[in-house]
């Protein structure tokens, strides 16, 4: 709805007046004629006019408000436009700053790219120059390598020729060395000399104040000797094996110059050499045993020097028997027994049987360690040594057990070891207080006509052994002989008369160790044992000295030990002495004494060892 304002009303009136003035008379008359009609409509018109005035008033107010709002809108629009303008200017400024920065960055990049391009060109030139230089160097090096290869090939040819020459010289040297050793052994046999081997034990815990540990394999071997381990790098070893035949002793005293002494023996074993190596040099003697020679192997040395370990091997602490678990650690006694039975197994069946006896010399008394009481329990019985009509020494009533294999022998020896006297000292926790003598007696049955020849080649002897062996004494555990209950035919009796028995013996001796009372710290009964041990070892040294000097009288009767070993030491047995030495300085006096004993033993010349070629008649006729 459109409202008419006051000014418009005035304009309407003026327009009306002009209209009336301009109208013709006729029309004005018509208007006046109709005036009555118009007068009737005037109130309505007035009302409408009033209404129009009110509406115009309201319209004016609304126009005022509209104008006010329009002014506000214009101001708001201006403000918005200003804000848009400011925002646009700000965006322009921002865009201009970003563009400026980008432009600067681009300029810098262009500059860097230019410098990089120039650097790349220089680098390329330098690389090409260096590549040419290196290529020249590589070609030069290749030529030099080719020359060196040619020279190396020449050197290799020369080295190969030298190696072949060295190998030939080494082979000739080894052959000459073997020949020299064989000649030396032959000379020793012809002279009847005593073979002396020397074994230097590893260092033990009591060799140092601090309990260090050594390498695993050596610590195991040392613990099996009855003790723990020590560190050899922390303890100066004054005794060492410089060759397989020479021992070097470094003698030094405070305030005096060091003096080095050397001792020569048939074989010298260092601390690192195993039981296998030691026995390999002993085994040839066992072949002589079955060839009719008596053999004696004796371990000599101070207490704690490894004699029992060398002879028996590792021992169990609970009963002092030797362990059979690790065969590589077994000593000479079990290995020698196994070797003897192996050699017997290669001979004709029934031509050999083996007996064993175990005795100890304790406080200058001989004890039979295989003797049994009425209940069959083994206990040590005192025995004595007597001289037979033939001039040989014998132990009457000594128990001889027949064994058929190495296991039975080792079982009997372990029984005897449980009775062996032992006592702990400051030097050795399981010190042996007696001399142990294990004897294997091998009885050989052979034809009298063919005795002295190679028995394994004699088929006739083998046949006779099989036919008539049943007529010989049956071997029993109590060592009692019973005659065969069968009636023998004349042919069998005649064959039996032609068979003879030859007995050879293998004595395996583990001597008690010499002791210094001040170091061992023994008192009471142990001190008395030490006195008897030292006196018996001194008597053994006196016997060897008398034989070496070829005196008319040899003092065998000064000790039961020397009487028991008389036939081996001064008789017709092949004797091997195994010296056991400690390398530590505080045992230097005892070690020098042992080395001196071995030197005197080597000087003994007993004449050529005799073979048992005079068989005794068999008792089974």
* Coil, helix or strand at residue 149: helix
Annotated binding site: 301-308
Q: Lowest mean pLDDT of 60-69, 234-243, 462-471, name the range.
A: 462-471
Reading the block at residue 443, the tokens are 């009885």
Question: For 489-509, how does the pLDDT look when each residue is reduced to its tens digit (9 = 90+)?
Answer: 444 434 444 567 888 899 999
Alpha carbons 519 and 498: distance in angstroms, whole number: 61
Q: What is the pLDDT of residue 231?
A: 45
Out of 3.40.50.300, 3.40.50.720, 3.40.1010.10, 3.40.850.10, the CATH code matching 194-204+236-447+500-603 is: 3.40.850.10
Mean pLDDT of 216-239: 46
Question: For 257-276, how does the pLDDT look when each residue is reduced to its tens digit (9 = 90+)?
Answer: 778 889 999 899 998 899 99
Question: For 417-460, how does the pLDDT look when each residue is reduced to its tens digit (9 = 90+)?
Answer: 888 877 666 666 666 778 999 999 998 876 555 444 443 444 44
Structure confidence at residue 579 as a pLDDT band (50, 70, 90): very high
Q: Strand runs (DSSP E) across 166-271, as ranges?
A: 195-200, 239-241, 246-251, 259-264, 267-269
Relative to beta strand 195-200, strand 573-581 is parallel
User: Taking phi first (over 0 means left), then psi (-120 to 50 degrees means alpha), and beta for anything else, what does residue 226 get?
Assistant: left
pLDDT at 550 over 90: no
Mean pLDDT of 584-595: 86
Annotated binding site for ATP: 301-308
Reading the block at residue 303, the tokens are 């207490």
pLDDT at 210 over 60: no
**Residue of 272, 430, 405 whose CA lies nearest to 334:** 405
Structure confidence at residue 142 as a pLDDT band (50, 70, 90): very high
Mean pLDDT of 106-134: 89
Structure confidence at residue 549 as a pLDDT band (50, 70, 90): confident
Inter-residue contact 499 to 464 (CB < 8 Å): yes
Structure confidence at residue 313 as a pLDDT band (50, 70, 90): confident
Alpha carbons 207 and 200: distance in angstroms, whole number: 14
DSSP 456: G
Reading the block at residue 151, the tokens are 């020279």
Q: What is the pLDDT of residue 328?
A: 82
Q: How many CB atoms lie within 10 A of CB 205?
A: 18
User: Taking phi first (over 0 means left), then psi (-120 to 50 degrees means alpha), and beta for anything else, what does residue 397 get?
Assistant: left
Inter-residue contact 364 to 564 (CB < 8 Å): no
C-alpha to C-alpha distances, 422 to 415, 432, 527, nearest whole angstrom: 15, 5, 13
Mean pLDDT of 162-174: 90
Question: For 464-492, how does the pLDDT look when each residue is reduced to its tens digit (9 = 90+)?
Answer: 344 433 334 444 334 433 333 333 344 44
Reading the block at residue 526, the tokens are 């142990």
Phi, psi of 583 (to 5 degrees): -90, 0
Reading the block at residue 129, the tokens are 């120059």
Question: For 514-536, how does the pLDDT look when each residue is reduced to its tens digit (9 = 90+)?
Answer: 777 666 666 777 788 888 888 99
Q: What is the pLDDT of residue 479?
A: 41
Q: Is 412 exposed, middle or buried (0-12, 13-18, 19+ CB in 10 A)?
A: buried
Q: Is 231 exposed, middle or buried (0-12, 13-18, 19+ CB in 10 A)?
A: middle
pLDDT at 58 over 70: yes
Inter-residue contact 304 to 427 (CB < 8 Å): yes
Inter-residue contact 428 to 513 (CB < 8 Å): yes
Q: What is the pLDDT of residue 209?
A: 41
Alpha carbons 322 and 312: distance in angstroms, whole number: 6
H/E segment holding residue 290: helix 275-290
H/E segment holding residue 619: none
Reading the block at residue 401, the tokens are 């057990």
List the domain boundaries for the chain.
194-204+236-447+500-603
Q: What is the pTM of this model?
A: 0.61
DSSP 376: S
Could you tell me the strand order of the sheet in which 259-264 lies? Answer: 239-241, 246-251, 259-264
DSSP string, 492-505: HHHHHHHEEEEEEE
Angle at CA of residue 237, ends 599 and 533, nearest 5°:
50
Reading the block at residue 599, the tokens are 């030197």
Q: What is the pLDDT of residue 354?
A: 92
Token pair 């004897």 in the structure block, residue: 439
List all residues 6 or more positions away from 52 whose beta carbon is below 8 Å from its beta carbon. 4, 9
Question: For 81-105, how does the pLDDT look when each residue is reduced to its tens digit (9 = 90+)?
Answer: 888 888 888 878 777 788 888 888 8
Q: Lowest mean pLDDT of 45-59, 319-333, 343-357, 365-379, name the range.
A: 319-333
Relative to beta strand 393-394, strand 401-403 is unpaired
Structure confidence at residue 402 as a pLDDT band (50, 70, 90): very high
Inter-residue contact 201 to 587 (CB < 8 Å): no
Alpha-carbon dihedral sign for residues 68, 73, 78, 80: positive
Q: Lowest mean pLDDT of 121-125, 185-189, 269-273, 327-331, name the range.
A: 185-189
Q: What is the pLDDT of residue 254?
A: 66
Alpha carbons 594 and 600: distance in angstroms, whole number: 10
Q: Lowest mean pLDDT of 64-73, 139-148, 312-321, 575-584, name the range.
A: 312-321
Mean pLDDT of 49-58: 84
Alpha carbons 571 and 574: distance in angstroms, whole number: 9
Q: What is the pLDDT of residue 533?
A: 87
Reading the block at residue 204, the tokens are 């033990």
Relative to beta strand 573-581, strand 499-510 is unpaired
Token pair 């865009």 in the structure block, residue: 95
Structure confidence at residue 619 as a pLDDT band (50, 70, 90): very low
More confident residue, 40 or 541: 541
Inter-residue contact 488 to 429 (CB < 8 Å): no
Q: Helix, strand, coil: what percent of the chain each, to 5?
A: 55, 15, 30
Question: For 213-225, how does the pLDDT look when each residue is reduced to its tens digit (9 = 90+)?
Answer: 333 444 444 344 4
DSSP string, 355-377: EEEEEEEETTEEEETT-B-TTS-
pLDDT at 277 over 90: yes
């Amino acid at each position: 709805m459109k409202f008419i304002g006051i000014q418009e009303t005035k304009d309407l009136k003026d327009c009306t007046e002009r209209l009336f003035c301009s109208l013709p008379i006729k029309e004005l008359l018509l208007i006046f004629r109709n005036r009555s009609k118009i007068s009737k409509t005037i109130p309505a018109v007035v009302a409408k006019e009033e209404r129009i005035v009110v509406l115009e008033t309201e319209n004016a107010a609304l126009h005022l408000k509209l104008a006010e709002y329009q002014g506000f809108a214009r101001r708001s629009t201006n403000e918005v436009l200003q804000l848009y303008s400011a925002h646009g200017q700000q965006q322009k400024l921002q865009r201009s700053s970003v563009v400026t920065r980008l432009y600067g960055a681009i300029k810098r990049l262009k500059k860097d790219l230019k410098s990089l391009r120039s650097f790349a060109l220089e680098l390329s030139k330098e690389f090409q120059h260096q590549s040419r230089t290196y290529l020249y160097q590589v070609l030069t090096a290749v030529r030099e390598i080719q020359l060196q290869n040619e020279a190396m090939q020449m050197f290799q040819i020369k080295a190969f020729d030298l190696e072949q020459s060295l190998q030939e010289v080494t082979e000739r040297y080894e052959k000459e060395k073997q020949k020299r050793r064989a000649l030396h052994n032959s000379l020793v046999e012809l002279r009847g000399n005593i073979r002396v081997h020397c074994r230097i034990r590893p260092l033990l815990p009591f060799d140092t104040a601090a309990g260090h540990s050594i390498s695993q394999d050596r610590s195991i071997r040392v613990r099996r000797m009855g003790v723990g381990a020590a560190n050899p790098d922390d303890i100066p070893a004054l005794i060492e094996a410089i060759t397989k035949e020479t021992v070097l002793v470094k003698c030094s005293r405070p305030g005096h110059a060091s003096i080095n002494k050397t001792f020569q023996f048939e074989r010298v074993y260092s601390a690192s050499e195993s039981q296998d190596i030691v026995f390999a040099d002993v085994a040839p003697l066992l072949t002589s045993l079955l060839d009719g020679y008596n053999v004696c192997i004796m371990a000599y040395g101070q207490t704690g020097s490894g004699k029992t370990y060398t002879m028996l091997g590792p021992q169990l602490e609970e009963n002092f028997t030797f362990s059979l678990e690790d065969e590589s650690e077994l000593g000479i006694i079990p290995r020698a027994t196994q070797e003897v039975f192996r050699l017997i197994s290669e001979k004709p069946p029934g031509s050999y049987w083996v007996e064993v006896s175990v005795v100890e010399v304790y406080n200058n008394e001989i004890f039979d360690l295989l003797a049994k009481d009425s209940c069959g329990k083994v206990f040590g019985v005192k025995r004595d040594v007597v001289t037979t009509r033939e001039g040989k020494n014998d132990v009457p009533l000594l128990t001889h057990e027949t064994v058929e294999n190495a296991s039975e022998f080792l079982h009997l020896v372990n029984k005897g070891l449980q009775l062996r006297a032992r006592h702990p000292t400051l030097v050795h926790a399981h010190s042996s207080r007696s001399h142990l003598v294990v004897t294997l007696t091998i009885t050989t049955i052979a034809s009298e006509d063919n005795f002295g020849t190679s028995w394994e080649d004699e088929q006739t002897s083998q046949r006779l052994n099989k036919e008539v062996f049943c007529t010989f004494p049956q071997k029993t555990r109590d060592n009692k002989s019973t005659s065969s209950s069968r009636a023998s035919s004349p042919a069998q009796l005649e064959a039996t008369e032609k068979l003879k028995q030859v007995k050879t013996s293998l004595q395996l001796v583990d001597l008690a160790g010499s002791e210094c009372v001040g170091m061992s710290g023994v008192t009471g009964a142990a001190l008395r044992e030490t006195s008897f041990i030292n006196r018996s070892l001194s008597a053994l040294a006196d016997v060897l000295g008398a034989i070496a000097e070829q005196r008319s009288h040899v003092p065998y009767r000064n000790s039961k030990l020397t009487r028991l070993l008389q036939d081996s030491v001064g008789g017709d047995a092949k004797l091997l002495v195994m010296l056991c030495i400690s390398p530590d300085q505080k045992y230097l006096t005892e070690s020098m004494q042992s080395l001196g004993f071995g030197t005197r033993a080597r000087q003994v010349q007993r004449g050529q060892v005799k073979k048992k070629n005079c068989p005794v008649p068999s008792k089974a006729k």
